[in-house]
Structure 1
Amino acid sequence: MGMDLYIYYRVRTADADAYHRKAIAMQQMLKRQYDITAALKRRPDAQDGLHTWMEVYTAVPTDFAGKLQQAVDENGLAAFIDGPRHTEQFVDLSTCV
């Protein structure tokens, strides 16, 4: 059964461009290293000077959450994030659509 991760958090609008570059570079590295699919999304509107961002990782290995946290730390992404990163896990229930 495949597992997908959805991680959402807030980033200051002033840091959006710098954060975007770093996050994409991290995801490219993770995609190559783990042969996964990744996406980076952001809500279109800011609230109180913050955007809500979301990372999506599909069909990840069971130990991926720890590897992802290590990559976030190594790439210095936490310096841009305001508050906690919230992680949601979902599993595939149907293989035929």
Structure 2
Amino acid sequence: MFDLYIYYQVRAADADALAPRVRAMQDRLAADHGVAGQLKRRPGAKDSRQTWMEIYPATAAGFDAALAAAVQDAALSELTDGHRHIEVFTDITDITDITPCA
């Protein structure tokens, strides 16, 4: 199981139009895949842009493809400013899973 964290920029002027699209997409994903997505944003704006984050906890293999299709179907790129950045995390199940960085 993987947790997906997706962040992207939204022009402040487009935020009110984008939010219902993302929420509707997340509702469909929850119904179809059992993954309850979350929608968050960083407080404030910089250069009239907000940073938004979608979180999808405990996703199964193949969910990333379903998410990509849902993003396209919802036409989110029409209201986002730049690329969606996807980060993937997993639970630490054993201390041996950790790779030291030094």
Structure number having the greater strand percentage: 1
1:52 and 2:56 equivalent? Answer: no
Deviation (angstroms), 1:16:
0.5
The aligned length equals 94
Runs of 4+ in 1 over 3 A off after TM superposition: none
CA contact (8 A) 1:4 1:57 kept: yes
1:37 and 2:36 equivalent? Answer: yes
1:27 and 2:26 equivalent? Answer: yes
TM-score scaled to structure 2, two decimals? 0.88
SS at match of 1:54: strand
CA contact (8 A) 1:4 1:56 kept: yes
Amino-acid identity (%):
45
Q: Which residue of structure 1 aligns with residue 60 of structure 2?
A: 61
Q: Deviations over 1:64-91 (max 9, x none)?
A: 1111111000011111111111000001
Unmatched tracts of structure 2, length 5 or more: 94-102
CA contact (8 A) 1:37 1:59 kept: no
Query: RMSD of aligned C-alpha atoms?
Result: 1.2
Q: Deviations over 1:6-62 (max 9, x none)?
A: 000001000101100110000011011101121000111100110000000011111
Q: Structure 2: how far apart are the matches of 1:89 and 1:53?
A: 16
SS at match of 1:83: coil
Q: Which residue of structure 2 aligns with residue 85 of structure 1?
A: 84
TM-score scaled to structure 1, two decimals? 0.92
Letter in 1 for 2:60: P
Letter in 1 for 2:39: L
Larger Rg: 2
